[in-house]
Amino acid sequence: MENNKPILDEKEEQWQELLKDCLSCDKCALRKTRNKVVFGKGSHDAKIMFIGEAPGESEDKEGLPFVGRAGKLLDKYMTVFDLTLDNVYIANILKCRPPQNRDPDESEQDSCIEYLRTQTKLIDPKIIVCLGRIAAMRIIKPEFKITAEHGLWFKKGSIYMTAIYHPSALLRDPIKKADALLDFKSVRDKAAELGILPVGNGFHAVP
């Protein structure tokens, strides 16, 4: 245990330095309209990473990702499949909220993406789950079609990647919840296959 302590301390210092850089970032105009930087939440030792596109109004107020209505729905799905902030890390491509929750433009994504890349490097996940079309287009492939390709698995290097409907899309169109349930089960099954989580007995409740 003692031999691992310096390594763990060094990693935590890298996290703190990255957070400091995000808090002082002025790479794009969103710094002028944000209330709080939304860095991320969850375990720094997680092997599953959820990535959304950008903070919303609630997130901008609290400084944490996925804490509004969409976040509460995400929590329900995660709970059903034994996914918690002890085994998952959640972040967005953008760390600041676009005004009126509009889609982040490409220049904003380009300004912020290095922060996410560093978070991903520090987490070193085995699974990345993109929440919604925009995240999937940036992380998996530019031509990603969420309606046709949600729940499919892709592999980049040693990382397995998939995309599911963004929880806000499920709030707008509850019919998609059935697909989301199957997609979350696929994530849970992949985690068991890779030895991240124990083999489960399937889902036991419907959000």
Written as six digits, the tokens of 114 are 């290095």
Residue 27 φ then ψ, to 5°? -75, -25
Q: Are 14 and 122 in contact (CB under 8 A)?
A: yes
Query: What per-residue string of b and e applies to 25-42 under the rule 16 or more CB within 10 Å gives b?
Result: beebebeeebebbbbbbb
DSSP percent split of the chain into helix, strand, coil, nearest 5: 50, 15, 40
pLDDT at 9: 85
Q: pLDDT means per 10 residues in the chain (207 residues)?
A: 61 96 95 96 97 96 96 96 97 96 94 98 98 98 98 97 97 97 97 92 53
CA dihedral 174, 178, 181, 183 (to 10 degrees): -110
Please state the pTM of the whole predicted model: 0.92
CA distance 194 to 132: 24
Specify the pairing of strand 88-92 against strand 41-42.
antiparallel
Strand partners, 25: none
- The alpha carbon dihedral of 46, 49, 54, 59 has a sign of negative
Q: Are 60 and 67 in contact (CB under 8 A)?
A: no
Does 1.10.3720.10 match the CATH number of domain 2-193?
no
Half-sphere exposure of 17 (CA within 13 A, CB side): 8
Taking alpha carbons only, the member of 75, 44, 81, 45 closest to residue 58 is 75
